[in-house]
Chain A
Amino acid sequence: MPERDPGRIAVLSHVHPALSRGGAEIAAHALFTGLCEIGVDAIFVAACPEQDRARLRLGSARERVVHVDAGSYDPFYHIASPEVTAQLARIVEADGIRLLNFHHFLNFGVNSLRALPVPTVLTLHEYLAICHHSGQMVTRPARTLCPASAPEACAACFPERGAARFAMRERFLRDALGGLGGFVSPSRFLAGRMADWGLPAARIAVIENGLRDAAPPAPPRKPGPKQAGEDHWVFGYFGQINPFKGVELLLEVAALVEADPALAGRLRIRIHGVMIGQPAEFVARFEAAVARHPCLEFAGPYDNAAVGRLMRDCDYVVVPSTWWENSPVVIQEAFQSGRPVLCGDIGGMAEKVTDGVSGLLFRTGNRQDLLRAMRRAMEPGVQAGLCAGIPAVSGRAAMARAYLAAFAGFAAAAGAGAPG
């Protein structure tokens, strides 16, 4: 039985999760399955780059695809070709869509979001509207954290664009997005940043990303203090291997660990993930570090279905990101697997992990402080205490219910009544 009848909802992902397993894609698909699970009439619409057309296999009859051509997309103002808008309009009409929930505007273009004739809600997954630097809010090329965007500051990162063009970008995106029906942010931090930038705070709902398959947290891997030579403390990294995610920090920490033979005998840093499209020098540095440091293991790519088992083979999950993050799915997955998290002390990470309760925070980007946190994590009794503090993880159905409530709230605020 449906819990309520909002009419047919389309959940839209900027890439199909069968092609890319980023957090936004996974969250969008989990929401879609969650809505279906609680009886809502939902379809899933994913953008598919032309070059990936042959690779894509849709998961069910409730999935649709919008073909996008990168050559016709403008990645500065985020404007897609009219053909993309037309494809979306055809889906809206043919499927009788009453509400659109976009997870990201990338590939679809903000022009499409504002042009479609039904209420549209945008779920924010990073800071792309505010920051042209991949939405990371870190400066270029120095890669320091950026506290707030402004045309002059953005032009300092991209001098070839100029402040006037960034002012135009801000005006265009703020106008285009400001007209949407509402926004969902998986973190209070991101919501705050977007409100500071100019989105209407009253129309931003904070809803945590739910996992597709939520379950009670697993117990610790091997309770009690580990002895040298008997076993190692395993700190696992899960995710894309790129500079934003802070993998370089792990390489630096591995070097510090190797400098302390007693520590090196008790600790392993295990990196799971895929390295695609990274600069050759980064790949070379990574491979050299893995070859040089016995405490550093590269476990390679993994299937997301196996992430729980792989995390349970670790004692802790490390999230060393050097940018603000929003609500990393990897933190939810770690909690679901019963593993405390070591992460940076900023942004969405600090919001999701309570220091000393569900994990340990370290100064973002600081290898010495990460090593301090690791040493602390290995102290007797610490892991058990942190495991006990891990919060319950939201599932897809709970997320779907929260979204429905938010949709209804947006509609009510607009004075048009709930969709359907």
Chain B
Amino acid sequence: MAESVVPAAAGASVLQRLGTLREAAAATLMGVQLRPVAANLRGFIESVAVDAAGVIWVCGWLARDQPLEFPAIVFDGKKHAAAVSLTSFPRSDLPAQAHAVFGAILVDWRPPAGDFELYIFFGEGLAFFQRGMKPVRVLEPSAAMEQFEQIRGNCDRATALPLQRMITSAESWLPETARAGGNAQASVDRILLLPGFGAFVEGWALSPTKRVNGFAMKFGDTVVRADPQATYHKPRHDLRDTFPDIGPLLDRIGFVAAFRGAIDVEDAGEPILKLVFADGTSANQLVPAKTMRRIGHSAAPEAVLALFPSLRHEGFFGDFARALQADAVARLGGCEPWRVAPARRAVVLAMPADRSDAFLLAEELGQAGIGGDMGLVLLAERGGIRPEILAIFAGLEARLGVPCSLFFIEDASHALRTLPRALQAVGAARFLFLGPGVFLAPAGWRAALAALAKDTDGLQGLDLGEGQPPGADGFAWNTAGLAALLPRLPVFLGGRHGDNGLGRAPGGMQVLAAPGWRIGEAGVGSALAGWVNRALEADDARA
């Protein structure tokens, strides 16, 4: 049988056989007394590795007259029922009556940290044993697979094949088995992880002799499979020089796939990509952790558009939008007070993330005419320009002569969500809120501050005169009204969409002309944000 057509079930059958042997060992050998008599020493264990499925892979040597598959007891001061399956190969440094061995042990023993004693007792009455070298090398599973790859050609074919089947079994997650699986090669260029959704993966997979039927990935302990409806192949002409002789395969060697599942993005480790072949076998490829990016953290959601240009038409788009929203909610974070100065009415500003804009806003605040029983509340992001924010705040405290408060928040674009906590901390019953990147003209300040000074119940949305509807960018209202309404409003990507639902306020939103401008963060959101937010809005309407 050619190596490239190892039957799909073959690997699984090896494991089944070892399972049976281990059960036999547990039933019949655990009570046998162990005697490590030197005359019965039949070989040594030089290295061990534990794979993700818990199989121990060993390398060492053994007397030629011993069997290669047997029930056994692993002893490290304590007995462990075990089953061993080995293949043999010649090694020039060994005596003629011994050969080198490589193989798998099914056992619940695990190599401890540091030096350890290791014995494998086997044979009639457990008379014979292999002993661990001092020390036994503990390898990564990928190193053990590499070892097998190097010796495979010299191995006894009858005993090597079952091990190869085990490695290439579709159920196996041993890393770096691609070459054992029909000389397949694969690489992942990037992985975009989104908590609550899964992963978007782009890469290439070359299998000259077997057709790739699908993909799966293992992140930490989680296995996720590529959604067939969100998987496609594409040409990779950039690999022409690397693979000059693969002809038409070059046109479909690239792949893009969405893998759906609850991946623990904090513990994704070094993922493994599995190519599942049409014959039911598979090949695994360890993927460097550096290819992973977390959407919303180290990659913008727009990065997915490079993989799925028609993203909004994909079947998974609704789930994607909801996962983005859930991730945004999870990131809202708290509202950490840095300085709290009580005020009955508060002008609340979400400070721009851009250093220059923050300086400009502070300069214009000095001209705005804040006074009376009004206080100033700044909501600033924790990172970025925090040093400048502290200097700006000190300057405003000195210049304005009104109570000034400063809170640090996670994301200024979602400052609206932190408003109730900040307002309750300063004891403000009424407030004027300006989102990040919103600047008022002198006439705008006059109108907005006049609205703040009045004691009315209605929500007044600022019309900056830029043709965009009034909304969460700027409005004046009372704290109690906002605290009651906000939990009922959806969280939108980028923090802003239409009026953010503020129109649902009791009595609706009154429009107040307050000339001004939006720049930077408050500019028109990305196209993707618009699509996502429209999907979320539709969800909200259905709810």
Q: A72-B391, A81-B395 are in contact. Are A162 and B360 (CB under 8 A)?
A: no
Give the contacting residue for A82; candidates B354, B355, B364, B398; CB below 8 A.
B398
Q: Which residues of B contact A165 (CB under 8 A)?
A: 354, 356-357, 519-520
User: Closest Cβ of chain A: how far from B414's Cβ, in Å?
Assistant: 21
Q: Mark A59-93, 1 if CB is under 8 A from B, else 0.
A: 00000000000011011110101110000000000
Kindly state whether residue A364 has any CB partner on chain B within 8 Å.
no
Assuming the A-B contacts A162-B519, A164-B520, A168-B519, are A82 and B399 also in contact, with contact meaning beta carbons closer than 8 angstroms in the complex?
A: yes
CB distance from A105 to the nearest CB of B (A): 13
Check A172–B360 contact: CB distance below 8 A: yes
Name the A residues within 8 Å of B520 (CB-CB): 162, 164-165
Contact status A168-B523, CB under 8 Å: no
- Chain B nearest CB from A186 CB (Å) reads 29
A164/B523 contact (C-beta < 8 A), A72-B391, A82-B398 known: yes
B519: chain A residues within 8 A (beta carbon): 162, 164-165, 167-168
- Are A162 and B398 closer than 8 Å at their CB atoms? no
Q: Which residues of B contact A71 (CB under 8 A)?
A: 387
Within 8 Å CB of A164, what residues of B? 517-520, 523
Q: Give chain A's interface residue range (CB within 8 Å of chain B).
A: 10 to 19
21 residue pairs bridging A and B, Cβ less than 8 Å apart:
A72-B391, A74-B355, A74-B359, A74-B360, A76-B356, A77-B359, A77-B360, A77-B363, A79-B359, A79-B360, A79-B362, A79-B363, A81-B391, A81-B395, A82-B399, A83-B395, A164-B519, A165-B354, A165-B520, A167-B519, A168-B517
Residues of A within 8 A of B357 (CB): 165
Majority DSSP secondary structure for residues of A touching B: helix
Closest residue on chain A to residue B364 by CB atoms:
A172
Q: How far is the CA of A172 from the CA of B516 in the complex (A)?
A: 12
Q: In the assembled complex, which residues on chain B have CB atoms less than 8 Å from the CB atom of A111?
A: 363
Contacts of A82 in B (CB 8 A): 395, 398-399
In the complex, what residues of A have CB within 8 A of residue B362's CB? 79
Closest CB-CB distance, B316 to chain A, in whole Å? 32
Q: What residues on A are CB-neighbors of B354 within 8 Å? A: 165
* List of A residues within 8 angstroms of B388 by Cβ: 72
**Who on chain B is nearest to A109 by CB?**
B363
Give min CB distance, B194 to chain A, whole Å.
27
- Pick from A74, A77, A83, A162: contact of B523, CB below 8 A: A162
Closest to B394 in A: A82
Query: How distant is A361 from chain B, measured CB to nearest CB, in Å?
Result: 39
CA distance A76 to B354 in the complex (A): 11
Taking the closest CB of chain B, its distance from the CB of A73, in whole angstroms, is: 9
How many residue pairs between the two chains, A and B, have CB atoms under 8 Å in the bound complex? Answer: 45
**Complex formed: what's the CA distance from A83 to B517 in Å?**
28
Most buried by A among B363, B387, B398, B519: B363
The 4 closest A-B pairs by CB, nearest first: A76-B356, A74-B359, A164-B519, A82-B395
A83 closest partner in B (C-beta) = B395
> Beyond the given A74-B359, A165-B519, could you list 14 further A-B residue pairs with CB under 8 A, ordered by the A residue number?
A72-B391, A74-B356, A77-B356, A82-B395, A111-B363, A162-B520, A162-B523, A164-B517, A164-B518, A164-B523, A165-B354, A165-B356, A168-B519, A172-B364
Tell me the chain B residues, 482-526 only, with Cβ under 8 Å from chain A. Answer: 517-520, 523
B396 and chain A: residue at smallest CB distance: A82
Q: For the complex, is B148 an interface residue (Cβ under 8 Å from A)?
A: no
Is B445 in contact with chain A by the CB < 8 A criterion? no
A interface footprint on B343-367 (CB within 8 Å = 1, 0 otherwise) = 0000000000011110110111000
CB-CB under 8 A from B387, the residues of chain A are 71
B439 at the interface (CB under 8 A from A): yes
Assembly CA distance A74 to B398 (angstroms): 19
Report which residue of A71, A83, A164 has the largest number of chain B beta carbons within 10 angstroms of its beta carbon.
Answer: A164
The digit string for A154-178, where 1 denotes a CB below 8 A from any CB of B, is: 0000000010110110001000000
CA distance A75 to B439 in the complex (A): 19
Chain A residues, CB < 8 A from B399: 82
B residues within 8 A CB of A74? 355-356, 359-360
Q: B384 to nearest A CB, angstroms?
A: 15
Query: Within the complex, what minimum Cβ distance (angstroms) separates A192 from chain B?
Result: 28
Q: Kindly state the separation between the CA atoms of A167 and B363 in the bound complex, as whole angstroms.
A: 17
Mask: chain B, 374-394; 1 = CB below 8 Å from A; 0 = not: 000000000000011001000
Complex Cα distance A168/B354, Å?
13
**Residues on the A chain within 8 Å of B356, using CB:** 74-77, 165
Residue of B nearest to A77 (CB): B360
| Closest Cβ neighbor of B392 among chain A residues | A81
| Bound Cα distance A111, B359 (Å) | 11
CA distance A134 to B518 in the complex (A): 26
User: Of all chain B residues, which has the CB nearest A76?
Assistant: B356
CA distance in complex: A76, B355 (Å): 9
- CA–CA, A167 and B441, complex, Å: 13
Cα A71 to Cα B360 in complex, Å, equals 15
Residues in B whose Cβ lies below 8 Å from that of A79: 359-360, 362-363
**Per-position contact with A for B133-161: 1 when CB-CB < 8 Å, else 0?**
00000000000000000000000000000
A172 to B439, CA, bound (A): 11
Output the residue of A76, A162, A165 with the most chain B CB within 10 A. Answer: A165
Which B241-261 residues sit within 8 Å CB-CB of chain A? none
> A370 CA to B480 CA in the complex, in Å?
74
A111 and B355 alpha carbons, distance in the complex (Å): 16
> A72–B387 Cα gap in the complex (Å)?
10
Chain A residues with CB under 8 Å of B517's CB are 164, 167-168
- B541 CB, min distance to chain A CBs, angstroms: 31
A168 touches B360 (CB 8 A): yes
CA–CA, A141 and B200, complex, Å: 36
| Beta-carbon nearest neighbor of B466 in chain A | A164
Q: Residues 392-423 of chain B: 1 if any A CB is under 8 Å from the residue's CB, otherwise 0?
A: 00010011000000000000000000000000
